[in-house]
Amino acid sequence: MYNQFYDIEGQKQREQQVCDLLIDYTIDDFDEYGNWISNVWPPNGPGLRERLWFASAYLAGGQKKSIELANAIIKTSKYAFCHFSPMAALQLLIKHGDKLDAEAAETLRSYLGNVLDDFKGGDLDFVGVNDNFPCMSTYTALFGGKLFDKPDLYDIGVKRLNQLKGLFSRRGVATEYTSPTYTPIHALAMAEIANYIDDETLRETALQCEERIWVDILGHYHPSTSQIAGPYSRAYTVDSTGHTHQARFILYALLGDKLPINPVNTLFASKDGERGEVIHGSAPFMQVSTTWFMGTYYHCPAYLVEAMLNKDYPFTFKATTEYGPSTDVPQVDRPKIDLSREDEVYEYPAGTGTVSTYMTQDYALGVSSNEFHCGVQTDSFHVLYRRRRPVRSQADVATVYARYIINDKKPGQYNYYGQFDAQVGDSLLWDQGRKVGIHHDNTAMMLYKPKIYGHKGVESLKLSLIFPAQYGPVEEIWLGDGKLNGPDGHSVEPCTVFVKDGPVYMAFHPLILTDCGREYAIKVEQTNDYVMVSLYNYEGPARDFPRRGFLLTGNGFVSEVRSEDEVGSFENFRDMMKDVKTSDELFTCMHWRWTYMRRTKYERDGLTMECEYSPASEGVKCVSINGSVSEAPKLKISGIDVDGLPFV
């Protein structure tokens, strides 16, 4: 059995490596009683889940001092319900029970006894939203039910595991697909179930689910950049920016030094991480997170690793997904409400969609047709590329992604979203628009509108292309025929934006850009280590928009990505893009009862892309590529016989 999985022994060695590094960097950040005494984790130090992750890593380290401190951390932690901590507590009992003193073990047992029944509810089933929660709850229900003699809870765990099997039987990827932060949790939970469950049928199901998760992760792995490509169902700033995140944690667990840019030479380059690296939260948070994700061994088939490390280019990944309904109300600390008693009827529909990725050695373009949940952190458009050949460090890797922004929010800082009284940190810039994506190879069409909640007190409306610049801005930006002198400029009229960065060239052709009043149609600026190329709908005094009219405010672009190897010089690339044609209009008629459709068409040599959809309802009437409408394959991957995969 071990021979079919990739590098089990190496995975165990790398687990010890990162645990030892964490101990070296953080053991003096606790006092002998397990209290956090460092000031590098504001405002109150690690929460419960992180404290339990520290305890697990310190126990795995095996040193007398670290084991004693781990027990102290467990005994002095403040316990409360969360979706992560019960799994962490069970892992401590199952994997490190022989290193726990009696009081620490009883502390964990008492905590679990108080919270396990909270994992019986339907909110933690696979309902088409945050799949990481039901993945963890499946583990928690199975092992909590077994250890605490709760057969009803155990049966719920069995049900949830089969729900995930059902999801993979229907779709190519999970609902929470290709999330650099959250998809690794899916893999971790399935690996831990497979490693410790004593039911062979359940073990086999967990292994099959884990294989399908690895198909998503490795299918999107771009070897040239040591990173997974988009689109991303859920992305934080560190994910969108292409710096070290949880996907690199488990890729390093699996691949070791075959992942040239990895947690050891970025997050663990020093106690504070690597200079210039975007770090989610704090360095110790990301470091202890690394040990949690690497504190298991994964069951990735060797054939899949070899195939995905040696991709033939161009490489494509296409899959279907599904998603549940939503509104824009943030879920955190919100009481349950009965919407059947509310007058408000606007919500985002449940549905199905497609995700697709096109790779060359120099770049990867990812597009999703629809959004995950409310889309607030969905990278439906994402370009990952190398700035230099070969890539030697994080500075040689770059990305571009898009956000619709109401009232001049900025990446890399705290932003206030007054409609929800929400202060959001620099770890996430909300997408305040809704989008539809159409993809063909190295061309993407993105159709945007603002979200209805933002229709009052509007001072600016724009769709921003965001180029992270922690290691310097892109080499060249052109607005039409004019090259900018640095990352600042503007254009009164819409025009094609050309970007050169190393061997990669990009063109962004603006679409409708509804003019609600503005001085410039396009602005380029650098702020907080990001270059923003913004396509404006409105900029001026605060005003209120009618709700339906707000939804009919159109924005968007068609993106073309090429490399030097594909088209030669940047000048030649710009010449190729001068003959493209775009048409984009809102149309209404009496037969639609005066509702509106948006008709968009893009033409260039060898390609015609068309879409008709209703911005208000988000219903898509048709999408065609070169006049053909084709059904999306459930799963199609270059170099992989998908019929041989589990549940396909």
Model confidence over 563-599: pLDDT tens digits? 999 999 999 999 999 999 999 999 999 999 999 999 9
Beta bridge partners of 558: 445, 509
Q: What is the DSSP string of 240-302?
A: HHT-S-HHHHHHHHHHGGGSSS-TTTTTTSSTT--TT---SS-HHHHHHHHHHHTSS----BH
Note the residue count of the chain.
648
Count other Cβ atoms within 10 Å, centred on residue 580.
Answer: 16
- Give the end-to-end CA distance of the chain in Å, rounded to a whole number: 22
d(CA 75, CA 391): 46
| Average pLDDT over all residues of the chain | 96
Contact 70, 54 (CB under 8 A): yes
- Taking CA atoms, 593 is separated from 351, 585, 597, in Å, by 24, 18, 11
Tell me, what DSSP letter sits at residue 12?
H
Alpha helices, H only, 481-534: none
* Residue 332 reports pLDDT greater than 60: no
- Enumerate residues 6+ apart whose C-beta is below 8 A from 397: 225, 226, 227, 242, 261, 384, 385, 386, 387, 391
Contact 245, 230 (CB under 8 A): no
pLDDT at residue number 331? 64
* Residue 357 reports pLDDT greater than 60: yes
Residue 2: band (very low, low, confident or very high) from pLDDT cuts 50, 70, 90 = very low
* Residue 333 reports pLDDT greater than 70: no
* Residue 419 reports pLDDT greater than 60: yes
pTM above 0.85, yes or no: yes
Residue 44: band (very low, low, confident or very high) from pLDDT cuts 50, 70, 90 = confident
pLDDT at residue number 630? 78
Contact 263, 18 (CB under 8 A): yes
CATH architecture of the domain 2-307 equals Alpha/alpha barrel (1.50)
Q: Residues spanned by CATH 1.50.10.10 within the chain? A: 2-307
Count other Cβ atoms within 10 Å, centred on residue 346.
Answer: 11
Average pLDDT over residues 24-30: 97
Model confidence over 603-648: pLDDT tens digits? 999 999 999 999 999 999 999 999 999 788 999 999 999 999 999 9
Model confidence over 494-538: pLDDT tens digits? 999 999 999 999 999 999 999 999 999 999 999 999 999 999 999
Contact 248, 261 (CB under 8 A): yes
pLDDT at residue number 1? 40
Q: What is the DSSP string of 521-572?
A: SEEEEEETTEEEEEEEEEEEEEE---HHHHHT--EEEEEEEEEHHHH-SHHH
Residue 481: band (very low, low, confident or very high) from pLDDT cuts 50, 70, 90 = very high
- Burial class (CB within 10 angstroms; exposed 0-12, middle 13-18, buried 19+) of 527: middle
Residue 343: band (very low, low, confident or very high) from pLDDT cuts 50, 70, 90 = confident
SS3 at position 475 = coil
Model confidence over 372-410: pLDDT tens digits? 989 999 999 999 999 999 999 999 999 999 999 999 999
Contact 300, 211 (CB under 8 A): yes
Contact 566, 360 (CB under 8 A): yes
Contact 197, 142 (CB under 8 A): yes
Query: Around 245, how many Cα atoms within 13 Å sit in the side-chain half-sphere?
Result: 28
Average pLDDT over residues 411-415: 97
Query: Around 194, how many Cα atoms within 13 Å sit in the side-chain half-sphere?
Result: 22
Model confidence over 241-268: pLDDT tens digits? 999 999 999 999 999 999 999 999 999 9
